Amino acid sequence: MLLLGTAEARGEEQAQATNEPVRGDLPPGSAEWTTLLESDLSSREAKALFRQMRDLLLTRLDSDFVTEQELYLGAMQGMLDVVNRQAGDPTAVAAGASSPVGSLVDVRQAARLADSLRGQMTGIGIEFRLYSDPGVLVASRVFPGSPAANAGLRPGDQVVAINDRSFTGLPLAPVLSMLEGGAGNRVELDIVRGNARSARRFKVSIERETFLVPSVEENLRRDGVGYVRIARFHGRTPQEVEESLERMRALGAERFVLDLRNSAGGDLLAAVQVADLFVPRSTLLLRLVEPGVGEQDLLAERDTIIRNDLVVLVNGWTLGAAEALAAALQDHSRAYIIGEPTRGTGRSQTLVPLGTSMVLRLESVQLQSPMGHSWNGRGILPDLPLRSQTQPLPSWSESNPSLDPMFETAVHYLDAAAERLP
């Protein structure tokens, strides 16, 4: 081994001296890009190396091995890999994590994303919250009127196989892509329902459809407490919330609980418009800071619609747009926040067209509360910390409010607030 190492070293010295390439069956090995950066390359030198490497690959490899188009697209993906790695997301979408800082989608995928912000969805109609167990997706919400709901699936059902394929060991993104597809196509799921003692496994075949996604559930208690739950924000959410509040107020609601637990975020402007219902006109609700674009302040555009006492419920799965709503109401002391620190998604995504066939999905917008605070990575801190239940929340019609300690705490707070009034 010593002689071989010496021979290799002499061969390397000779190749460097004569500037001749080394050929042979070389052992595998490569340098991490972070190691290469330690050489203190300037931007100009790095650009020159990129061009040199591109030219070498195109001229030294057969054209049927790699094309210039493939190299450029691969370089684009490589840039995004670096950005996501630097953001602490080397696998693009880790199990249970949010979307990557940057990703490429085609125009059809971008259209589906835009549809989701308008309240439309094409698929089976399930949102998943947990991916803690290997090879298990747990449904946190089954949308009413969706193919999954019509097939009898419920929150808490565990998906353990898709089209007879187990996905143990796979990251979340490719697993969710297995569930996606166009309207009219079918997908077969293996479902486990129940706990370890009473669990049963069964198959269900579901045809994907395009359907409207309701974002609001409501319930009015006999004591005059109105409950509104927002599962996700889209273009119709502000109108749905306003109509729900006005309907319950006409029936005698005097105080309200706004439930944002497990809210999957969504349309940021819709969340701002919901906040607009509770505060005076021209109130600062959210500040958007985007490098290369500038800052934008989003203000309330209407007079206050709802002046009733308000409690907002949050937990560790309150995301993005829902956090923006909670922050706006908290900073203006318009609502009392009860629950857990929220997810800490203080950045928003934007879709930037690249040519005519590709779209860059970029998490470039930094969100700040009206007081100028960022909640990215730390979450919105509740006024009253209270641990949430760990299981997926059922819809109101399937739940017993007396079994929801956080909701009952909100009712007690509202009762005490009403007693303090003169």
The better pLDDT of the pair 26, 156 is held by 156
| 227 & 345 share domain | yes
Q: Which residue, of 35, 70, 86, is where some domain finishes?
A: 86
Q: Is the pLDDT reported for residue 128 higher than 90? A: no
Q: How would you label 181-216 residue by residue, b for 16+ Cβ within 10 Å and e otherwise?
A: eeeeeebebbbbeeeeeeeeeeebebebbebebbbb
Statement: residue 96 has pLDDT above 60 = no
Classified as helix, coil or strand, 105 is strand
The answer to whether residues 271 and 406 belong to one domain is: yes
Lowest mean pLDDT among 97-111, 173-187, 283-297, 333-347: 97-111
Q: Which is nearest to 316 in space by CA: 121, 98, 99?
A: 98
**Whether residues 172 and 221 fall in one domain:** no
pLDDT computed for residue 413 by the predictor:
94
pLDDT digits over 362-413, tens only?
888 999 999 999 999 999 999 999 987 644 444 444 445 556 889 999 999 9
Give the residue from 159, 193, 211 where a domain finishes: 211
- pLDDT 10s digits, 10-54: 545 554 545 677 888 878 877 776 777 667 778 888 899 899 999
Do 315 and 323 touch, CB atoms closer than 8 A? no
Residues 376 and 259 in one domain: yes
130 and 240 housed in the same domain: no
Q: What is the pLDDT of residues 275-284, one digit of tens each?
A: 999 999 999 9
With respect to residue 35, please indicate whether it lies within any of the assigned structural domains: no
221 in the same domain as 148: no
Q: Is residue 259 part of a domain?
A: yes
**What angle do the packed helices 320-331 and 268-276 form, to 10 degrees?**
30
In a domain, 105, yes or no: no
Look up the domain containing 62 and give its range. Answer: 48-86
Residues 401 and 325 in one domain: yes
Residue appearing with tokens 């006005």: 246
The two structure tokens encoding residue 81? 């890999």
- 326 & 386 share domain: yes
Last residue of a domain, one of 164, 184, 211: 211
Give the closest residue to 229 by CA, choosing from 219, 221, 239.
Answer: 219
SS3 154: coil
Task: Report the Cα–Cα distance between both ends of the chain, in Å, rounded.
Answer: 91
CATH of the domain at 185: 2.30.42.10
Pick from 106, 99, 142: which is nearest to 232 by CA? 142
How many separate domains does the chain show? 3
Identify whether residues 285 and 359 lie together within a single domain: yes
214 versus 69: which is more confidently predicted?
69
217 closest CA partner among 255, 251, 243? 243
Average pLDDT value for residue range 170-189: 85
Residue 90 has pLDDT above 90, yes or no: no
The secondary structure of 254-321 as a DSSP string is -EEEEE-TT---B-HHHHHHHHHTTS-TT-EEEEEEETTTEEEEEE--S-----SEEEEEE-TT--HH
Residues 314, 329: contact at Cβ < 8 Å?
no
Residues 333 and 416 grouped into a single domain: yes
Contact at 8 Å (CB) between 226 and 218? yes
Q: What is the mean pLDDT of the chain?
A: 84
Domain membership of residue 57 (yes or no) is yes
pLDDT tens, position by position, 286-322: 999 988 889 999 999 999 999 999 999 999 989 999 9
